[in-house]
Each structure stands twice: as C-alpha cells, then as structure tokens.
Amino acid sequence: MGRIVFAGAMSHVLDPDYYDHACGQVGRRMVEEIMAEIRRMGDRCVAARPDALVIVADDHLNAFSFNAVPALCVRVGTHVDRMVQEEAEAFDRALEGMPLRYPLHEALAATILERGLQDGFDLAFSWEAPLDHAFLSPANTMYGQRPLPPLVPIWVNCFVAPQPTAARCFALGRHIARAVAASPWNVAIIGTGGLSHFPELSLARVGETDTVFDRKILHWLAEAEYEPLSALTADELHKAGEHELLNWIVVAGAVTPARAELRYFGELPRINLTAVEWALP
C-alpha cells in the first residue's frame, strides 16, 4: 500500500535576482533564506525516497491560453518540458538555466486520472502543457543537482475567474490520498505559490500583502483546522491576494489531519515568502 512520505508548500519564485530587482537587498537576502530552508526540506524529501513527486501549482497563462482553461488538470505522458520564453521578463527569468526535460510518473498520473473518473473527479489532462516557474523553481531548489523523481504535475486554475472552490481543492487532495493509498508507491507532494501578494490582481496594488490574513492561514495549518480553510471564498482569496493558497489546500486535503510546521515566513513589500512542511505520521 502506497503512502505520502513528504508534504510541503512554499513560495515559487525562488530567484534572488527577481527579488533584488523588486525589493532591493532585503529581497535578495530573504529569498536566499527561504531557499536555504527549502533545500533542507528537499534533503528530508530525498531521505524519504519518494517514487514520485506530485507538484500542485497554477498556470500563469503559460501552459494554457484561451483555447481552454482547465479548473484542475493532470499532466500525463512520459516526460514534460520546461517552458521556454524568449526575452523572458520578471518571474519567467527564474526558469533560465534549469534543465529542459523531466521524467513523469505516468502510472501514478493515470491512477489519479482514471480513479478520479470512477469516483466523480473529472480532471482535465494534457500531454503537451509545459511547466513554468510555479512547478520547477521549488522542485529544482529542493533537489539542487540531485535528479528529480518522476513528476506528476497538477494544475489548479488559481487566477482566471471563475476558479474552483477551496472546498473542491481540499477534496482533490483527499482524492489524491486515496489514489496513492491504493497504489504501490511512496509519494511526495508539494503545493506552491503565495502567500499573500497581488491583491485583486491589480498592477496598481503590486507591492501590497495581507500579513493578518497570512497569519490566520498559518494558524489553521499549524492546528490542522481545515474546515475554515476549505470554507474560504474566491472573493476572500482575491481581495487578500491569496489566489495560490488553493494549491496549498490540495496538499492539506492529501495529508489531513496532519499539522503543518512553519519553516519560513518573511515579509517583503511584494509578497510574504513562506514555506511549511507537514508532520506526517
């Protein structure tokens, strides 16, 4: 019987140059601090010897465009390429220098997909969507020069309204947990993005965060209070700039009733850089 052997969540633009540009020296220092914590999380993940790494993250209109915006989507196939953006700007530059191709855990993806269809969880699936920084910046930071385990990328539509509900994201996590339990594999899972930034997705408000809201979420995660977490509305998430929390909520659903331990929280005038790791039985 398979089990989840590592679970974490973390900010996903892990690029000192980006935060130096956005916030100056304090930005560079804090992102280097959180990256050091995430590398230690990676050490523990490696020690748990996962057969697969599930990454729950969002698209930034890189993988999917206006031909389809899946609410929830799993990547299938044997391998996945990283996004290549010519003349990359901002967060897209975080991808530069990363390997271009990664193996996928085809069988686990198929299990999540097919079992979901039987159980009322109709995930979209893609053979072609590339991965942007939301997936690869945390994974490569965790693993460094070590080879990544086969990936199972899962997209949550965090940004293009109307989004899936927090409750549905938590239920997706429960579904992933059941699929893993019925499989023979040990699985690591991470959710990426956040915490608060870009309230209302307004360029005029880039630079604002909501530390009170973040502290409330971290308290719920630390106490495994997942009912209020799952009851958050799209409007609340939008106003606080907590869009990407949906990815974290999937992981919470996958490991409930485990509690999350705070690994890093750093307030910047752009985003509150955050990393947590769940204490698994």
Partner 1 sequence: MSRYAVNSLLYRLKKDTAYRALFLREPEAALADVDLTDDERAAFLARDARRINELGGFLHLVMSVPGIAAH
Closest CB to partner 1 among residues 86, 235: 86
For residue 264, the minimal CB distance to partner 1 (Å) is 23
Answer positive or negative: Cα dihedral of 42, 47, 48, 51.
positive
DSSP annotation of 257 = T
Scan residues 56-75 and list those touching partner 1 (CB under 8 A).
60-61, 65-66
* 13 vs 176, beta carbon nearer partner 1: 13
277 near partner 1, judged by CB under 8 A? no
Site for partner 1 contains 235 (CB under 8 A): no
Asked if 234 interacts with partner 1 (CB under 8 A), we say no
Closest CA to 154 of 139, 137, 135: 135
202 contacts partner 1 (rule: CB under 8 A): yes
Alpha carbon distance 42, 33 (integer Å): 14
| Phi/psi at 43 (5° precision) | -60, -45
* Span from 113-121, 172-180, 201-209, 220-228 in contact with partner 1 (CB under 8 A): 201-209
Q: Answer yes or no whether residue 89 interacts with partner 1 by CB under 8 A.
A: yes
98 binds partner 1 (CB under 8 A): no
Q: How many CB atoms lie within 10 A of CB 162?
A: 9
- CB proximity list for 40: less than 8 A, separation 6 or greater: 263
Q: Are strands 151-156 and 72-75 parallel, antiparallel or unpaired?
A: antiparallel
Which of 102, 135, 159, 248 touches partner 1 (CB under 8 A)?
Answer: 159
Ramachandran sector of residue 115 (left: φ over 0; alpha: ψ -120 to 50; beta: rest): alpha
Minimum distance from residue 88 beta carbon to partner 1 (Å): 7
DSSP annotation of 94: G
Q: How many residues bind partner 1 (CB under 8 A)?
A: 24
In terms of CB distance, is 51 or 244 closer to partner 1?
244
Q: Taking CB under 8 A as the rule, does residue 85 contact partner 1? A: yes
Is the peptide bond prior to 257 cis by the omega test (within 30 degrees of 0)?
yes
Contact residues for partner 1 (CB under 8 A)? 21-22, 60-61, 65-66, 85-92, 159-162, 198, 201-204, 206
